[in-house]
């Protein structure tokens, strides 16, 4: 139900039309993209791409959530990206995948065959410009996350993750102030995101609940009565100083 059925294919009806890599394209360019695109679906838990494998395509997440992870030989793993609808997957100009991509919910991807996509990119500036913009945003997000990983306590890390998900994933709430959302991640995935163990994640989530910062219905459904409080717990500036 939070995976809307979009596998039809008309770009004009596409839910991510205005935010994805194709956002700036005009009608003509969309026709060209249309010719090299196809949809693929992945079930929750399925691996989309293995690190090191040759990639035949790049693409956008249309619906669902996927994760980007790195793994060391001994099995320690770190998530390095959370892919939400409209996020771009793959790197033009590179053959091999640098990370594992795993679907954490059912996922629909809009894929472009890589070679034609690269040619299209060099012909039309709109795609390249949008991709640059998106990459710069991701770089900012990665750097924000470096602060979380390097300097925040376990409690602050959890609060940071919750407020990020809340910001990108809120379902407009009927009863006013409080923010409500579903966690798209298991405790283990949260741990991999935050550089913690799943036990520590569980403990800190419980602690935030005990202290009234969040409420839980089941294990995944979260209510935040006071976002400002949550952001204070995250150690962030509460007065969101935004850059344009």
Partner DNA sequence: CGCTTCATTGACGACGTTCAAGACATGTGG
Partner DNA sequence: CCACATGTCTTGAACGTCGTCAATGAAGCG
Residue of 227, 92, 104, 109 whose CA lies nearest to 159: 227
Nearer to DNA, 131 or 166 (CB): 166
CA distance linking residue 237 with residue 98, whole number of Å = 33
CA distance linking residue 237 with residue 144, whole number of Å = 13
Is the CB of residue 149 less than 8 Å from the CB of residue 192? no
Beta-ladder partners of 232: none
Residue of 165, 197, 201, 171 whose CA lies nearest to 183: 165
Residue 136 binding partner per list a copy of itself, DNA, none, with a CB distance cut-off of 5 to 8 Å that depends on partner kind? a copy of itself
Residue 155 binding partner per list a copy of itself, DNA, none, with a CB distance cut-off of 5 to 8 Å that depends on partner kind? DNA
Contact set for a copy of itself, span 59-78 (CB under 8 A) = 68, 70, 72-74, 76-78
Q: Which of 30, 98, 154, 198 binds a copy of itself (CB under 8 A)?
A: 98
The yes or no reply on residue 23 touching a copy of itself (CB under 8 A) is no
Q: Contact positions toward DNA, by CB under 7 A?
A: 45, 153-155, 186-188, 195-203, 205-206, 216, 218-220
Residue of 37, 7, 6, 8 whose CA lies nearest to 21: 37
Residues that bind a copy of itself (CB under 8 A): 52, 68, 70, 72-74, 76-78, 80-81, 91, 93-96, 98-99, 122, 125, 128-129, 131-133, 135-136, 138-140, 142-147, 149-151, 194-195, 235, 237, 241, 243-244
């Amino acid at each position: 139900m939070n995976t809307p059925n979009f596998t039809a294919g008309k770009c004009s009806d596409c839910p991510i039309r205005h935010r994805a890599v194709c956002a700036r394209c005009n009608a003509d360019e969309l026709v060209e993209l249309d010719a090299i695109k196809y949809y693929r679906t992945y079930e929750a838990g399925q691996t989309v791409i293995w690190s090191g494998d040759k990639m035949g395509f790049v693409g956008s997440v249309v619906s669902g959530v996927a994760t980007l992870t790195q793994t060391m030989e001994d099995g320690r793993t770190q998530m390095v990206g959370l892919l939400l609808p409209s996020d771009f997957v793959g790197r033009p100009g590179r053959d091999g995948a640098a990370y594992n991509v795993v679907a954490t919910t059912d996922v629909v991807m809009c894929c472009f065959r890589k070679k034609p996509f690269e040619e299209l990119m060099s012909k039309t500036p709109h795609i390249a410009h949008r991709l640059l913009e998106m990459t710069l945003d991701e770089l900012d997000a990665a750097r924000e996350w470096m602060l979380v990983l390097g300097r925040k306590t376990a409690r602050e890390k959890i609060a940071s993750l919750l407020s990020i998900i809340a910001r990108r994933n809120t379902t407009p709430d009927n009863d006013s102030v409080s923010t409500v959302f579903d966690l798209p991640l298991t405790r283990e995935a949260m741990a991999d995101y935050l550089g913690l163990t799943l036990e520590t994640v569980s403990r800190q989530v419980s602690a935030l609940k005990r202290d009234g910062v969040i409420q839980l219905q089941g294990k995944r459904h979260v209510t935040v009565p006071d976002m400002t409080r949550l952001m204070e717990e995250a150690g962030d500036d509460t007065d969101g100083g935004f850059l344009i």
